[in-house]
Structure 1
Amino acid sequence: MKLRQKLAMVLASAMIVTAVPVTTMAASQNGFNKTLSIVADQEITSGSGLFLNVEYSDADKAAAAKGDVFFINATDFEFTKEAYNHTEDGKVVAGHTTSTGAKVEWLSKTQLKVTAEAGKLAVAIVGTPKKGTPAITVDGEDSLATSGKYALTGSEVVTDKALVATAGSAKNISVDGEGQIADITVEEKTAGALKNGSVITVSLPNSSDLDFKLGSDIKVEGLRGLAGQDVKVKAQYRDNDKKVLELTVEGITSSTSRGGIKIKGIEVQAENPRYEVKTGEVKVTVKADKMEDAKLVVANVADFGVKLNVEEEVEVVAGKDGKTVKVTLEENAIASLNKRQDVYFELEGANIVKDTLKVTEGAEGILTQETEKDEVTGLTLDTAKLSDTKANKVVFEFEVEGKASQTGDVVLVASSRNFEKDIELKVGTVKEAVKVEAEAMTVKVGLKGQKGGKVVITETEAEMLPRGKEIVVEVAKDKANGIHVVDAKVEAKDVQIKNVKVEDGKVKFVIDRTSNELGTITITDIEVDTDRTVPEGEFDLTIGGSAISKHADDVITVKDFLVVGTPNTEDNNASNGLKKGTGIFKVGERKYTINGETKEMDAAPYISKANRVMVPVRYVSDVFGVNGKDVLFSKENGGTITIFAGSRVLQVVNGSNIALVNGVKVPMDEKVTIIDGRTYVPVGEMARLLDVEVEWSNETKTATFTNR
């Protein structure tokens, strides 16, 4: 396109734009002065004080005051003629009595004409709303006023019902039928709907096992616009029907704002006192003039008993800070709890932290803690403090704390002679901070430098072992028992430790840096000295310290970690501490001899693929002079045998060719094997490990063992 053509088009466009007439926008702010609750066919009078405010802009106020005219139209609303027009000299003229700053002329039930006399107007809205969506529309065409539509109510549809009934929380009633129903509230949707003489009817179904009970004091509370007024109700049966209660309202004085009443203390009783009332919901129908019939649940009939609930279950970490649980004990019905039989609570799986008990609902002092040695052993509910007139509800809270060795569910147990059986309520869980795995260690009496055992401490989550806190591992409860831990090897992975030492029979170290992932600490080569005073039996391993628990005496216990065997005292004249003598095994034969005495095994020796003589271990021990009670069998690692043989402690494991001699690993030429439930060992290797002499005859396939 040529430049000359482009310029021509631009000029043409400019001419079109300048030819369009410019209209000045009206500029008034319109709106109601307040919001009313509206009911169909109930007139909004001048006393209601509802105005449509119209305020012109500062630029238009002077011009508007000279007589700006606009119209107000109504939708689902009819203007009251008498509120706007009056008579002068026998003629009907526009009035000023209900509006300010303007003349208002009633043109029809749905239209007003407004003539401004000031820059700020207040047009009274007087009339009757109809069913629908009542609204006022300002028609500001050819005027300085802004057009717009304004709803008279926030509700979409206006009804002709001026009252509404609701019920409070349903109350529990026992099967004997005696009790009170929930509070019933009747509220006005428009002021003045409740009057002196208004009758409210409350009805039970004909099928109900309950009747209303007169004679009690029914109380009334005024609400909102009726608050503070001495409102009462007069109660009587309708036509002597005990299932229908008529409540006549008295004592109301006029009010310009909406109000209501709350009716309290309506009582019921069994229709036939000889029979129990059926359990379940109790419903009533509430009726009144200008009110939708309301069907309300006002009570629950429940058998005697109590409910125990927790607001929210908690998870605590063993040995760490506790958390608060909130528990509710509630009667199903009045007098479910005997006031002479207290309720006792015990916590299983965790501990209640001392002095954290708090009752948030219930009589003062109704619940107390019981302690022993500075620990809470339980809680006691004093039933003598319960109410006789209502189903009681007691809400209490306390802090739950898990000890280092506790894991799993935390259960609150409630017991009482009131109950057929204890009530159990899960209130939380205890999660372990660390897992402990251990391989047992076997030692012999009167020996030094016995090594063995293994302890692995693994976090369940990162940073469970806090920085600067100590771990203390004690292999025996008391060094005075003759057991002395003198050394150990401690290694850490993904957690750093420092100050590793063994003192007073305890392995100690400090967490230097917390973990990023799951930290692991491994303790091996635990070196133990024993003296002759150590008794036979098993000793526990304990893991404690401030890194494990916030309490100094709180530890994780590994049962029977250290096994101590008794010394062999029968003719221990040989250098290896075993009984002197000679024993003979023959491959393929069950019979064997000890010092010339023939005995019989339940399985014959055989020769393995590695050309080693394999004999059931119990008979090997017998030939070597080991007392039967000094041979221990364990299921650990698929089968572990521990033999206390004189000055040596020998351990062998099924499927392994590694033996432990006084805690030191020694390889053998053949593996330990289980066949038909019997554990076979290479008898020659066992003799070598225990310093027993051996001779082998290839011709007779006979092995002879001598302990000199």
Structure 2
Amino acid sequence: GFSSGSVTIGKILTGGGSTITAASPTSITEAGGAVADITLKEDVAGALKVNKDVFPDGDTVKLVLSPGFTWDTVTLIPQGGFRSDSVDKAVHTEKNGCSALYLKINTATTSQPGQLVIKATVKADEPFTTARDVKVTYGGTNPGVGGEKIAEVTVAKYLVSGLTVAAKSTLDAVAGRLNQQIGNFTIAEGLPGDLASGRLVSFTLPEGARWNRLPTIAREAGNGELRLYGTIDDGRTVVYAVDRVSTARTIFCFKNATVDLAVYVPDELKVTVKGPGINTEVAVANVQAPLTLSAGGGTIRIGLQEQPVGALTIQENLVGALRARDTAGKRAVLRLSLPERFRFSKKPTVAVTAGDLELGDEIRLEDNDRTLVIPVKLSSATAVEKPATTREVTGEENTAETVAEQVGSTLTVKDILLTVDRMAPEGDVALDVSGSALSETESLFPSSLNKLTCVLARCLTAAPVGIRAEVVFTIGSTGYRVGGEEREMDVAPYIKDGRTYAPVRYLAYAVGLTDEQMHWDGENRTVTLFTGERLIQFKVGQKAYVLQGVAIPMDVAPETVNGRVMLPYRYLAQALGLEVRWDAENRQVIIR
């Protein structure tokens, strides 16, 4: 599968005065075969001395094969000062199991240096599953050699059937950009004809990437041919078909391709290669995110308004990362979006704190105050040097070096106040950063792939409110007492079927809950209470209440009186974890 001709693959001048070279490596398989011609040449007449002891011991000259291969047939062609009977040969196995060709110098040269051409075949001791080089190590104790391991030459390439994929280059690309150049890669046949007629080879990009300019095919070796079959998977996969089966081992190089990238794409862009007997990946680009987000964090609680969180820093990782114009030529914007049930209490303060990026004046809140929209007036054009960092360098002596990094501009969003709905979930509050200023590929990929995300804050349940004083309700009276304070309600407690009913809302007020911690769902006739530790739901007409998602049975159901949900004290006190006592003499319910 390789071109004919002679090329020096290895050449060493030994201390004793002999040289070994090899022609171009041949190709062999598990059946073995001929290896490249090896030429052994004296630099001066008489350099290789006659063997003094019993051959092959003493003043040895030997050529040792790579492990797993054995010398098969060997022909010596003497030239120069060597005559036909000047050199003999024998094959022996070394102590390490390697096959060695020993040369016996019968007669030393006198008038001119000797030269010996070795034509040989080798056998593979057993089939290999991976390709490898077949090498010969030249050495020996003969003074004309100079040592046991003097030179190493490659004489053959052991080939196995099957395709292999390799990266030739890996380039840098930017997420959220169109037409990003990627590195070149190759597909090589192990043996001629590995790519059979009609077979297909496909290259698939990861989610968040699609082909823009398809790869150009260049044949680096052999005579096989591929043709474009088509693209599938919405542009993520390109498929090629075998147009001509090779008779010489073929290597295809796929080069000069470009891709379109979403903002959310792997840092290392890999192409998945599938074909006859192969399913592997090859890295073609290192992808840089256009921005780095850093949030100051903070804790907020469910059902509360105007809660402050730390500032957000938006760092351009490269100059011009934020665009001033979208693909239609309109003013580009950056969008900072909160999850459902969270909103900005007011417009935060936005400022460029480093670099020459310029923002528009129309910074505003949209989407019911869930989204902060930041127009970009002018993209950054000048790099900013980040503060230098020091890192250790390991070597003979541990040293430190200062590393400076060039970046784009920096935005700071501060004075962030959040209002949290009573039905908001606990956990991290993820802020999504998107918009035409960030991505050129909004129209190509789903919005879920064209955004960056950071944790802006942590949301907890509302702060627990323990009962601060004794609470007293009197049957038939709209007045109730919290500690020493007298209060009024619009419906009086009553007794029904031996149960003492009271309005849920005023009982909740009495133990310290606020309107923000109560929610009435008129459609489902359900009242929900939020405390720092509990979520409680009562539904009118249903003989069970829900505590932390678990149904707790009751022997009576809540009912409405004058628009108020009425419930026996005992169940509400039980749900809130409070102590309740009945004063029969004064017809009062006392809660502690």
Q: Does the alignment reach a TM-score above 0.5?
A: no
**Higher normalized contact order (CA 8 Å, seq sep 6+, divided by chain length):** 2
When normalised by structure 2's length, the TM-score is 0.44
When normalised by structure 1's length, the TM-score is 0.37
Query: Which of these two proteins has the greater Rg computed from alpha carbons?
Result: 1
